[in-house]
Amino acid sequence: MTLFTQVSKFMQHDRSPFCSTETRDATPPQNAHDDATALHRAGNFAQAADAYMRELALTPNDARLLSNFGGLLCSMAQFDASKALLTKAVSLAPDMPDAWNNLGNTLVELQDYANAITAYKQCLGLTPNHPLALSSLGVALDRQGHHAIAEKGHRFALRLDPDNPMSHLNLAVSLLAQGKYPEGFAEFEWRWKTTMTSHHGMDGPLWNGQPLEGKTLFIHTEGGFGDMLQFSRFIPFAAARGGHTVTLVRKELLRLMQVSFPDLHFVTVEDDIPRYHFQCPIMSLPLALGTTLDTIPLAEGYLKTTPAQDSFWQNLLSQDLSLSPLAATKPFKIGLVWAGSPHTGLRFAEVVDGRRSLSLATLAPLAQAAPNALFYSLQVGEQSAQAQHPPTGMTLIDHTKHLKDFSDTAALAKQLDLIIAVDTSTAHLAAGLGQPTWVLSRYDQCWRWLSQRTDSPWYKSLKLYQQAQPLDWTLPLEQLTADLAKLNTTAHSVERNHSNA
């Protein structure tokens, strides 16, 4: 297969923009008729890709063209095709720093960190003050958990290019992963100036934590469900600044938020938004409230369910127990979530989801660790069909047909003894309820879980099991399975002693 054919094949897939380390602006063309670079710079990625394809067909050995097109494909999450182009570019022009930087970015996304670092070093050897390579090198180090060293790279990059939004956002991730929250959340505000985050589009002055004195603060959602669940704990503290808060949430969260914070006002996009004096994105509340690692509120739990919901699930789970051959053993009840949401059509989210998700079959060792447990599927979405074929020896009950929103899921999770989940919204939901929650976390885990920790200051009931190598669940599953076996043995030992008393 020729390089041209290989790239053509990859270009049949989705073309949504993606860039986590920021590809350097396309190098200016040498040909006045070259319009691909202009389209690339303007953010018209699909059209730029078509233009690059046409030019590549005419001049397949133009290293500058290969570098620019490879950088674009990285931004579109077409990493294998990007790698092929960029590998050829650096072989044709090993003295082209931007090509090495772009190759490094692609290798980072392929989680080939050692070769990515080598590529960045090649770039910096040619151009020592290449700001994007310095910050991107920091990203590679951040992904491996070397945040303190990465922070230095980001700061050096910002001295060279002080107004680069991605370098600021990269610095934010390094700081937040180290628990340096005041500066980290301040740098995190640069997210609105990057291509990674669409601007919220809300009018009005940003609230910075000042007393509201009877004024209305409009808090609005951003990110995924997990972000809203994690940061909703701050809403009551914003309201305590003396004003009235109105919080915009997605409809799947509305009932849970209303039950959990009954004195607060929540709306969805289907409602009329009242007039307000200040606005604040939900993930900007920690900055406005001056949050530090030691002042994270409500780590013991803050989400609630209703008595009616509790009664419904208590009765349903009692029926499950009465019909189970394990009834006499009073089995441990364990909830499972094995996959996140793929966000089909949003390529960067699909890439991250592929790193954090696994299959139900991969969780087969849990049945051996707790053979007398009842497992409950909390998995929703397209991966929920796996619950129809659980691993051998696992008694898995699927009541997800009753889960209409997050409030229903919360009520079910509340009746369980333990929730085991990948890093997804249900993990935040369960831990936000104060339920024991064990999270299987990817190698390049999110900044919110901090570095080198198995606990979390955000949730007292949460325990982390992180991959030791990219895409390899072997070690975290071994650790989690061993802990589950101990927990299961202890629980039944206590039950036996109670029965004999």
Sheet holding 216-220, edge to edge: 265-267, 244-248, 216-220, 278-281
Among 266, 295, 324, which residue terminates a domain? 295
d(CA 398, CA 400): 6
Same domain, 83 and 153: yes
Same domain, 242 and 330: no
Amino acid code (one letter) for 167: S
Same domain, 288 and 315: no
For residue 383, the domain's CATH number is: 3.40.50.2000
Angle between helices 63-75 and 45-58 (to 10 degrees): 150
Range of the domain at 62: 3-190
Amino acid code (one letter) for 275: R
Phi, psi of 23 (to 5 degrees): -70, 135
User: Burial letters for 58-96: b for 16+ Cβ neighbours within 10 Å, e otherwise?
Assistant: eeeebbbbbbbbbbbbbbbbbbebbbbbbbbbbeebeeb
Same domain, 266 and 328: no
Q: How many folded domains does the chain comprise?
A: 3
The encoded tokens of residue 342 equal: 């793929």
Closest CA to 129 of 165, 167, 160: 160
Check if the beta carbon of residue 364 is closer than 8 Å to that of residue 477: no
Same domain, 493 and 380: yes
Closest CA to 426 of 211, 246, 226, 289: 226
Same domain, 84 and 168: yes
Angle between helices 131-143 and 97-109 (to 10 degrees): 20
Among 156, 190, 224, which residue terminates a domain? 190
d(CA 113, CA 135): 14
The CA-atom distances, in angstroms, between 35 and each of 48, 49, 54 are 8, 11, 11
Torsion of CA 397, 398, 403, 408, to 10 degrees: 10
Same domain, 69 and 169: yes
Same domain, 261 and 398: no
What pLDDT does residue 159 have? 97
Same domain, 268 and 318: no
Same domain, 87 and 117: yes
Among 267, 295, 323, which residue terminates a domain? 295
Distance, C-alpha 4 to centroid of its chain: 34
| Angle (CA) 320 323 324, round 5° | 85
| Angle (CA) 203 207 211, round 5° | 135
For residue 10, the domain's CATH number is: 1.25.40.10
Regions of the chain where pLDDT drops below 70 = 1-34, 196, 327, 342-350, 492-501
Amino acid code (one letter) for 342: P
- For the chain, the first-to-last Cα distance in angstroms comes to 74
Check if the beta carbon of residue 366 is closer than 8 Å to that of residue 334: yes
Element of type H or E holding 18: none
Same domain, 391 and 283: no
User: Burial letters for 224-263: b for 16+ Cβ neighbours within 10 Å, e otherwise?
Assistant: bbbbbbbbbbbbbbbbebebbbbbbbeebbbbbbebbbee
Same domain, 30 and 59: yes
Long-range contacts of residues 12-16, Cβ cutoff 8 Å, at least 24 apart: 13/78, 14/77, 14/345, 14/347, 15/45, 15/46, 15/49, 15/76, 15/347, 16/76, 16/77, 16/345, 16/346, 16/347, 16/348
